[in-house]
Amino acid sequence: MSVRSFEKTHPKLGNRVFVDPTALVVGDVTIGHDSSVWPMATIRGDVHSIEIGDRTSIQDGCVLHVTHAGPYDPDGHDLKIGSDVTVGHKAMIHGCTIEDQCLIGMGAVVMDSAIIHSQVILGANSLVPPGRKLEGGYLWVGSPARKIRPLNEEELAFFKYSANNYVKLKDRYLAG
């Protein structure tokens, strides 16, 4: 089963959410309306909470997890991903915040307590180290990620286009 409880906490899915049968969503996870979770993605809210906004797409092979509260990190780190976000294939997102209208490139890694502000494109295979804050409205690339240039109008419009494109695709999957 691809959506399951952990210690009596069951994921909460909004209206018209698609979770591929090969994906795993477990525990304290909330997924907003019209969002999608594609093949082989893992979203594991077992030791802290995960919130995903509306019209957000978690692509194939992504790993989303959190950090437990303990002696080395007294509060732990939950994971928050906003609305109209596209998380590219095989990205690893851990205990951080990604605000609305972002594109997280394929294979990117975003670590604990990092904050990616709205309207960021994070390039493929980029690394956002723990605690790093990425200013909105820019392209960021590299390991560690560095600010390259402001986004142009076409790139800014792409956030909504990408979100809407994946809403349409997941609707086709839901229709069978």
pLDDT digits (tens, 9 = 90+) for 7-28: 999 999 999 999 999 999 999 9
**What amino acid is encoded at 117 in this protein?**
H
Which residues are 37's β-sheet partners?
19, 58
Name all domains of the chain by residue range, CATH numbers in brackets: 3-175 (2.160.10.10)
pTM given for the model: 0.96
Residue 72 has what pLDDT? 87
User: Would you list the DSSP string of 152-173?
Assistant: -HHHHHHHHHHHHHHHHHHHHH
Tens of pLDDT, residues 142-175: 999 999 999 999 999 999 999 999 999 999 999 9
For 53-91, how does the pLDDT look when each residue is reduced to its tens digit (9 = 90+)? 999 999 999 999 999 988 988 899 999 999 999 999 999
Phi-psi region of 171 (alpha: psi -120 to 50; beta: other; left: phi over 0): alpha
CA atoms within 13 A on the CB side of 8: 0
The answer to whether the beta carbons of residues 104 and 81 sit under 8 Å apart is no
pLDDT tens-digit profile of 93-150? 999 999 999 999 999 999 999 999 999 999 999 999 999 999 999 999 999 999 999 9
Measured in whole angstroms, how far is the alpha carbon of residue 168 from the centre of its chain?
Answer: 19
d(CA 19, CA 28): 16
Q: Which residues contact 176 (CB under 8 A, 6 or more apart)?
A: none
Rounded to whole angstroms, the Cα distance separating 53 from 84 reads 7
* Contact (CB, 8 A) for 84 and 66: no
Q: How far is 129 from 7, CA to CA, in rounded Å?
A: 31
The per-residue pLDDT for 1 is: 61
